[in-house]
Structure 1
């Protein structure tokens, strides 16, 4: 399985307490999320800040993830995220410009025959879109491709994010992202709109401690969240996405794969950075996923 994304240097400020410095990045979270449940090799292709390249490589290889990373110089891949009292993220430093180092030739040479691909947000949405377009041109519809997006990228170029959505098998975003994409303020209306956009593919909308909404075959299935104490929500969406793609590749259906992904995300939030995720116990993931799959329900019965 191939994950396309980056490893960054993150400064995280929770609602209460001091800032914490850690390695992070969408690619790191997605690759570790995939490795936590994957029964095949995982490759992370992307960019990494030169100052953290050794630490990132060590972290990935400890979980049997093979890194194909372009080291960028200068301030490079640095992000600073401040969380308000509702755990909404505010980016005070966004170092995504350094992700221009990620190109399709680099990715395809690092993993020429992927079994599945997950595309993390990498710089402007056009990079993700170009990557998805190239993957479809080379591998056709038989290659499972998923992607994530987030609010800053939607605000910068909503049309390209919508175009990306039409190319991938599964799009993963959170509730605020969906409201921006749908241009609605009402979640129920946004989900109804997303059903039409999704068509025969799938969309998963995460909603923190409230769980996730899985859209597939014209319906919305509510996937509950596993009860966790949130220490740091950074990367939960990407670890969810990586685990979802890996679980599907392992043969799980969408509902079971979403429950596995939610279980992985519940581990991610229990520590700063990737500390908890990097030590994920497959038995604990399976236990949490079983509980969540049993509680999944038809979303039409819920007041959103």
Structure 2
């Protein structure tokens, strides 16, 4: 076994998605290049399994280090583990933890996702315009406050006082433009919400219609199954009746065959009796009858 010369501060050793992952920090390896890690696994069979780190699972330096190893088996089979990153650098590891897998969320419909993204973008733009409008209003209020705080000026100060007035008018114009833009965006937002609600309602209607159609198809399938069962029963009855008819015909044929055999035997017996009788004299001719 390799001699342990350094320390490894373990952050995690866990199993997930048929992979064993090790993460932590090495101490005492400053300026030293680490070799490709190898994980030795003992499953109690008397033979250790050596797993080389996956190419895409080895990451980091001695300070921040992580490695992944392929392990499609059950992590409960592991009774001991040792991590090696060089011929003389090895550390024992505890038993791995089993990380729970997260369920994947069902991807939303492309149309709904586009509407939601557009609605989010409009909300962000409305909030930005509101913030900008609030800033303009604060500037306008500050300028008005400055004008109100100024004492009466000499006639030569009219030119200087005109500059804030122009700025106020400009801010008022920008305020009006921002208000108009805000109202337009609010209208677009409301329209987007209405379109989204209509689309959701349409999809719900289609879902309900699909549910009704599914129930209809299930009922039709049940009726077809009943008709098929009735047809199978009728075929079975017809087959049984045909078998009974064949048996009856076979019995009648056997009886006729027996009668035929009996008649043949009787004919044969009569032929024997006829053969045993003496021969009869030939019939007398006309001349013999006259002579008699």
Q: TM-score, normalised by structure 1?
A: 0.17
Higher Cα Rg, which structure:
2
Name the one with the larger strand percent: 1
Tell me: higher relative CO, structure 1 or 2? Use CA pairs within 8 A at least 6 residues apart: 1
Q: TM-score, normalised by structure 2?
A: 0.17
Name the one with the larger helix percent: 2
